[in-house]
Amino acid sequence: MTHIARATLADIPAIRAMAEVVFPATYRDILSQEQIAYMMEWMYSAENLRKQMAEEGHIYYIAYQEGEPVGYLSIQQEGKDVFHLQKIYVLPHFQGMQWGARLFEHAIVSIKELHPESCQMRLNVNRHNKALNFYLKMGMKKVAEGDFPIGNGYFMNDFIMGLDV
């Protein structure tokens, strides 16, 4: 059985376990090992995940196949009519099985439930991330780009993608 469920604070260890696999695998050819380590702590420490979920309005969802977590996403309202797809990742051995598309579609459905009026979903994607083609295939358009400082001298060098939902 497969399903996608909203995560709770109790799911932080599962999110962290997936991130420890998928995040370095995604960025190993793009970022230095030092920057990956910095970003893992910045985004995925237990305390930072708790803060995202409890204080910053991030809503996490976990995808499951036969009870096993296979990927996750998070959305966050950014403005009156803008939601940010903060994270969407599928474990490497489940990629190519349509989980990315299912998670992406789940993000859209979740945003529509939270905001029935039309709005825009945005996401940042590293300019060298092969997932860029996935987002274009899913209907997103490049709306901007930038180099965003994240601390410790590191930057996120991203395209900002948008999709009207």
Rounded Cα distance, 120 and 66, in Å: 33
Delimit the domains of the chain by residue range. Answer: 2-164
- Give per-residue pLDDT as tens, 113-140: 999 999 999 999 999 999 999 999 999 9
Looking at residue 62, its pLDDT comes to: 98
Distance of CA 60 to the CA centre of its chain: 9
- Give per-residue pLDDT as tens, 92-108: 999 999 999 999 999 99
Task: Look up residue 73 and give its two tokens.
Answer: 């996403």
Task: Look up residue 96 and give its two tokens.
Answer: 């190519």
Looking at residue 1, its pLDDT comes to: 87
Name the DSSP letter for residue 119. -
CATH homologous superfamily of 2-164: Gcn5-related N-acetyltransferase (GNAT) (3.40.630.30)
- Give per-residue pLDDT as tens, 54-65: 999 999 999 999
Computed over every residue of the chain, the mean pLDDT equals 97
Give the predicted TM-score (pTM) of the model.
0.95
